[in-house]
């Protein structure tokens, strides 16, 4: 598992775990970013833009560092 923030643009990943306090995990879950879900990394850099469950979301580097993923396909 690696942090989402370390995944290159174009990667397809599976969300494996959410680290952080309950408020942080709750916010991610409310966006549909939950363990077991596949996501595509649309942009990386200062903010990580991902496509998940039909929506696109930008996560700051700190928040993206709390989302642990496994790679399904590399960019």
Residue 36 is predicted with a pLDDT of 97
The total of structural domains in the chain comes to 1
Domain of 24 in residue numbering reads as 2-73
Report the CATH number at residue 33.
2.30.30.90
- The C-alpha atoms of residue 23 and residue 45 are separated, in whole angstroms, by 24
**DSSP annotation of 10:** T
Tens place of pLDDT per residue across the chain (75 aa): 999 999 999 999 999 999 999 999 999 999 999 999 999 999 877 889 999 999 999 999 999 999 999 999 876
What's the token pair of residue 57? 């979301």
Q: What is the pTM of this model?
A: 0.89
């Amino acid at each position: 598992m690696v942090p989402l923030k370390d995944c290159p643009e174009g990667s397809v990943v599976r969300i494996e775990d959410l680290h952080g306090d309950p408020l942080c995990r709750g916010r991610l879950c409310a966006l549909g970013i939950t363990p077991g879900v596949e996501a595509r990394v649309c942009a990386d850099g200062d903010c990580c833009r991902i496509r998940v469950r039909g929506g696109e979301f930008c996560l700051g580097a700190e928040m993206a560092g709390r989302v642990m993923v496994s790679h399904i396909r590399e960019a």
